[in-house]
Every structure is written in C-alpha cells, then in structure tokens.
Amino acid sequence: MVNRAKEYSAGIMSESSWFLEFKKMVMLRHNGLSPDEIKKKCIDENLFGMLTELRVNRIYAYLSNRLATLDDALVELFCSSDLSTQKIINLIAILKNDKLYFEFVNEVYREKILLGFDAIETQDVNTFFRNKSTDSEALSSWKETTYDKVRNCYLNFMSDANLLRREGKRYIITPPILDISLEHFLQDHGDETILKAITGVK
C-alpha cells in the first residue's frame, strides 16, 4: 500500500468521512474500472449527489487519494466485509494519507487505551498539537481556527469508524475488535503500526 504523507498538513479539514461515496468508488474499482473510468462515472452519473461538477471533482480528488492506498487484496477484503470493517478500512486509508493524524491516533488514542483512560478530552488534542508545534514550523503557523477544524475532523472521523462515542463534550474510547482477516492483512503488509494504533495494543 501507499506510504503515508511525509509532511504535516491541515488539508484534512477540507474532508469529511464520505464513507458512502468512498464505498461506491471501491466497488467500482472492484468491478474493474480504471481511475479515469471511475471519475467519469462519478461525474456523468453524479454518484455523490452533489449540486455542482466542481464539488464532485473536489470530493473525487480526496477519495482517489484514499483509494490509492488500497491494493487489490484490500479492495477485495473491503467488498466482502461487514459495515464496521469497511468503515475502519476507510479510516485506515485516511490515516495513510495524513502523517499528523496517524501520529495522533498512535500517540494519543493508543496511549489512552494502554494507560486505562476511558475518554479523549479536547485538552488532550490541544496538548498534542502544542507539543507537535514546538518542532514543526508548519504547525506553529496554524491559526486557532485551523486547530479547531482539524481537531473536529480527527474526532469525527474516529467516531464515524466507531473508535469513539461522543457523550456531550467527551469522546468515550471504544477500541474496535478487528475482523481477523483485516488484522492478518495489516500484519502481512507491514502495517502493524496502524493495527496497534487503532486497537490500542502493545
């Protein structure tokens, strides 16, 4: 699978989970369509249900980056899996395209599980950003609104994948029990760090 991005970015704040849209694209690839054919179908048939072609193109661009992280075996696994596993694969694709987000899940979510905490608080995310910004010129230049948007994306994406459950202002940690086929896939394809990050194991 494609390696994660090497630089920190706030680009994720322009994205949504878009699970249903992502699923449609995975299914099209599973049916043998090329990237160009998938894009044409998304536009011509407005598969995303957007009001403008510009919006379709933007969403396609984000989702094609996610789809590129899936090899044929993972596409096959996605198509044969239940809904919860498909949502986790969508999250994995997001993590593989965003270095900072992966580090958040690995260093905050996983550590919380290992230390026995039951929730992630807003201050946990803020502390993570503050620590990272001391060594990153890119992060240190972010506006407060950027931090807020990125934080919300992080937590919402994890909630959509059922790694968290929102209760008021708290996000209760609900570590997933992965389908054994996905677990073996991640182990066999050099992605054990992602496996550990999302499940919270040592």
> DSSP assignment of 34-76, as one string?
-HHHHHHHHHHTTTT--SSHHHHHHHHHHHHHHHTT--HHHHH
Residue-level pLDDT at 68: 96
22 and 58 fall within a common domain: yes
113 and 190 fall within a common domain: yes
87 and 104 fall within a common domain: no
165 and 82 fall within a common domain: no
48 and 140 fall within a common domain: no
d(CA 4, CA 1): 9
Q: Nearest Cα to 56, choosing from 67, 45, 46?
A: 46
Does residue 5 lie in a domain region?
Answer: no
Q: Nearest Cα to 72, choosing from 33, 104, 45, 130?
A: 33
Question: What residues make up the domain containing 48?
Answer: 11-94
d(CA 10, CA 94): 13
Residue 5 backbone phi and psi in degrees, to 5: -60, 145
Does residue 3 lie in a domain region?
Answer: no
pLDDT tens digits for 41-89? 999 999 999 989 999 999 999 999 999 999 999 999 999 999 999 999 9
Sequence-separated (6 or more) residues with CB below 8 Å from residue 100 = 8, 9, 132, 139, 150
74 and 167 fall within a common domain: no
Residue-level pLDDT at 7: 84
* Residues composing the chain: 202
Does residue 1 lie in a domain region?
Answer: no
Model pTM? 0.94
pLDDT tens digits for 152-183? 999 999 999 999 999 988 999 999 999 999 99
Total domains present in the chain = 2
